[in-house]
Amino acid sequence: MHYVYLIQSATGRHRYIGLTDDLKRRLADHNRGKSPHTADHDSWRLVTYTAFSDSARASAFERYLKQGSGHAFATRHLW
């Protein structure tokens, strides 16, 4: 499975959208500071995720959520 996930810092000030095939390991990596995009912030919690059997569809959904209308969609429905 391929997962598009949304995480938020413990303070709620920072958000991140990512893609992985191992959700538990990836969240642990974020909390251990192993991701350059999230290492400078406090601990992270999983807000939501979507599972895909097709990696191309997962990648396309992640890109969508990081763009204009997808960002608005995520703000309204996923965060």
Class (C level, CATH) for 2-77: alpha beta
Average pLDDT value for residue range 43-57: 97
Q: What is the pLDDT of residues 16-36, one digit of tens each?
A: 999 999 999 999 999 999 989
pLDDT of 56 over the 90 cut:
yes
pLDDT of 42 over the 90 cut:
no
Delimit the domains of the chain by residue range.
2-77
40 pLDDT tier (thresholds 50, 70, 90): confident
DSSP codes of every residue in 25-67 = HHHHHHHTT-STTTTTS--EEEEEEEEES-HHHHHHHHHHHTS
> What average pLDDT is seen over the chain?
95
